[in-house]
Structure 1
Amino acid sequence: MDDYEPDDVSPEHCAVWPENWPALELFLGVQTQWRIVAGMGGAQYQGLDYGAIYAHPRLARLGFDEQDERLEQLRHIEVGALEVMNAR
C-alpha cells in the first residue's frame, strides 16, 4: 500500500461511510483532548483523554452497547492519528 501525504487527497475525494460518520463526529468533538508527555526529545502524544470522551454529549447520551461500538470505532481513528502525530 502506498503512503499518502495529507496534500495527496482533496476533501472532495475522501468519503466517509455512513456507519462511520457518528464516530468521526465524536472524534472531531474531542480532537483537542489528547494526553501528552513532554520531555527533552519533544512532545509524545499518548492517546485521547477518555475521561473527557465519556463526558462528551455525543457519547454520554448513548446506551452502553452503542457506547462500546462508538469507542471501538474511535480507537481506530485514534491509532491512525497517533501514528501521524508521533511520526518524526
Structure 2
Amino acid sequence: MEDAALWGLDLSAEELEPDVGAVWQDNVPAVEAFLACQTQWRWVPRYGARDRATGLDYAGCDVALKMAGIKATQELWEQFQVIELAAKAALNEG
C-alpha cells in the first residue's frame, strides 16, 4: 500500500475486487480480452535456437474478441497492447 501511495494510487479496500485476485478492477477488461486472444501468437522458427514470439495475430484477435462478445475500444486496445508486450518479453526470455 505504501508503494502504491508513492505513485499516487489509492488502493483502499473499496477499490479492490476480492474475486479478481491480483488484477486491479480497471484492468480486468483488458486481461479478459488478452485471454480471449491467447492462442493467436505468431512465432518465428529459428534454426538452432528457440522459436521467437513476434506478437499476436491481430486479424485472429479481431475474430476472437468478436466471438467472445468483447468490443475493442481504443482504451481497451491500448491496455491490451501493454499486456501483449509484457507477455512477448516473457515468452522470449532466455
Match of 2:77 in 1: 71
Greater Rg over alpha carbons, structure: 2
Look up the equivalent residue of 1:17 and give its one-letter code: W
RMSD over equivalenced CA pairs, Å:
2.2
- Kept in 2, the 8 Å contact 1:59–1:67? The answer is no
Q: What corresponds to 2:7 in structure 1? A: none
Instruction: Report sequence identity in percent.
Output: 36
Question: Which of 18, 22, 30 pairs up with 2:25?
Answer: 18
Report the Cα offset of residue 71 of structure 1.
1.0
- Structure 1 residues 74 and 61: alpha-carbon distance in aligned structure 2, compared to 1, 3 A threshold: closer
Look up the equivalent residue of 1:48 and give its one-letter code: L
Residue segments in structure 1 that go unaligned for 5+ positions in a row:
1-11
Task: Write out the 4+ residue segments of structure 1 that deviate beyond 6 Å after TM superposition.
Answer: none
**TM-score w.r.t. structure 2 length?**
0.67
Displacement, 1:27?
0.7
Looking at structure 1, the residues matched to 67 and 30 of structure 2 have their Cα atoms a distance apart, in angstroms, of 9
- Mark the runs of 5 or more structure 2 residues left unpaired by the alignment: 1-18
Aligned length: 73
Instruction: Assess if the C-alpha contact under 8 Å between 1:34 and 1:46 holds in 2.
Output: yes
Determine the structure 2 residue equivalent to 1:4: none
> Which of the two has greater helix per residue?
1
1:86 aligns with 2:89: no
Q: Distance in 1 between matches of 2:70 and 2:31?
A: 16
- For 1:27, the aligned partner's letter is F
